[in-house]
Amino acid sequence: MSYPVTMQPQAMPAYTTSQWSSDIMDCCADMGICLCGTFVPGILACKIASDYECCCLPILGGATLAMRTGIRERYHIPGSICNDWVRLVFCGPCALCQMARELKARK
Tens digit of pLDDT at every position of the chain (107 positions): 677 767 766 666 666 778 999 999 998 889 999 999 999 998 999 899 988 876 667 777 788 999 999 999 999 999 999 999 999 999 999 999 999 999 999 98
CA torsion sign for 97, 38, 47, 28 is: negative
Using CA atoms, how far apart are residues 23 and 36, in angstroms rounded to an integer?
18
Q: Is 79 exposed, middle or buried (0-12, 13-18, 19+ CB in 10 A)?
A: middle
Using CA atoms, how far apart are residues 6 and 24, in angstroms rounded to an integer?
49
Using CA atoms, how far apart are residues 52 and 7, in angstroms rounded to an integer?
44
